[in-house]
Homo-oligomer: A and B are copies of this chain.
Amino acid sequence: MTAPMRTSHSWPAEPGPGRRALLGSGVGATLAGGAAVANAAAPRAASSDDGESPAGAGRGDDGAEVMPFFGPRQAGVATPPPAHTRWVALDLAKGASLDDLRRILRIWTEDMGRLTQGRPMLADHAPELSQDPRFLTVSVALGRSAFERVGRDDLAPAWLGDLPPFATDALQDRWSGGDIVLQIGSQSPTTCAHAHRSLVTGAGAAVRPRWVQAGYRRPSERPRWTAERNAMGQVDGTVQPVLDGPDDHLIWRGAEDGIWSGASTLVLRRIAMNLDTWESLDPAAKENAIGRRLSDGAPLTGGGEHTPPDLTATTGSGLPVIDPGSHMRRAMPRAAHERFLRRPYSYEETHDLSGGPLEAKDTHRSPHGLLFAAYCADAERQFVPVQRRLAEQDLLNIWTRAVGSCVAAVLPGVEPGEHLGESVLA
């Protein structure tokens, strides 16, 4: 472990709590990016009064468990995360036109409107598999390359850019990029698989599969916003913005964006974890690297999971209790705008578990890791400063490595009669 670097920071003027308020309020952070609430002592669960039930979710006529499809924002971002989610990247076929892209989105809108409600699609090849949505949501996002592919860069929003390179990345093409990214989530892997097949088939020869990344959370009866342990044992996802309220501007494009109002940015980072070297650490070393207790996710300065950390506390020998290089301390926002929504999922490439134990240099080859999905209005402004700080210094970098990266614009939602992308691809 190298000593943490000291860096100086400047912040643009930002409405909301100032630096001191943020640093002192105990905003926390988790693996590979910080997201925080303005009032961290009482984080409010997204879209829900009790933090457990999906807002707006209901039961269809046949008792199926469904999430709403129509609305100004797509479901699957601020709705509670289900047990299984997969991200499916597709590239437009060579020579595809804007009309092809529009046609695909029109078909998908129709199909998504039915599948998410537990109804067979038109000309469904397996209608018996379409009737168990289990809170299915499908969210559609476009990478900047989609606009380039159809020769209409001019339609891409200015806020949709690539991430800069980070020194700690070991990105592989096979997990990166993509013209179109579908996010498919449900309590049931069977449902995810069927929706996935149906939508890709429905797009026909105009798209080519690029990659699929499937992840899981611990199961619960219904989707819910709760922190849970990732594969390293770390309690991950404690701190989130307040949804459907004052933090909306952190996640969604606003009315001032006109046709892009209701859009968001997906940043999906595939973070490989070297569990072999990590698990050889003693618990104290793990907790020092994280900055939180393994047992309950509380800061090392005490309290519970939601207690603010005391960054000024020192040990008897004068060392900081919370290591300056700890992940929590490096990832926590240093300005109010360095916050975003996260839906992290664990992944495991079970087909690839036949290797021997990993050495430190092999982290990028690990079959275990985290699909770190972040959602923000502006990735460059909100996500990049945090990721840059983590790339500079984060004790967890010893055991983690980003092996995939993708940025895409989550399209605005639709009302009945509209189709996805209708306004922004006009």
Contacts and interface: CB of A to CB of B under 8 A. Distances in A.
A295 B127 CA distance: 9
Interface stretch (A73-81, A211-219, A384-392): A211-219
A355 to B, nearest CB: 7
Interface in A69-92: 83, 86, 88
A294 to B, nearest CB: 5
A233 B198 CA distance: 13
Contacts of A348: 189, 193
Contacts of A83: 219
A128 interface: yes
A233 B190 contact: no
Looking at chain A's contact residues, the main secondary structure is mixed
A187 interface: yes
A373 to B, nearest CB: 16
A216 B190 contact: yes
Nearest to A215: B189
B212 A190 contact: no
A211 to B, nearest CB: 7
A187 to B, nearest CB: 5
A126 interface: yes
A221 interface: yes
Interface in A143-201: 187-191, 193-194, 196-197, 201
Interface residues of A, number: 53
B125 A229 contact: no
A210 B134 CA distance: 34
Given A86-B350, A353-B209, A193 B368 contact: yes
Given A218-B188, A219-B188, A353 B125 contact: no
A350 B280 CA distance: 30
A212 B354 contact: yes
A212 B353 CA distance: 7
A346 B191 CA distance: 12
A212 B350 contact: yes
Nearest to A198: B279
Contacts of A194: 231
Contacts of A294: 128
Contacts of A228: 190
B351 A190 contact: no
Given A187-B219, A218-B188, A368-B193, A212 B128 contact: no
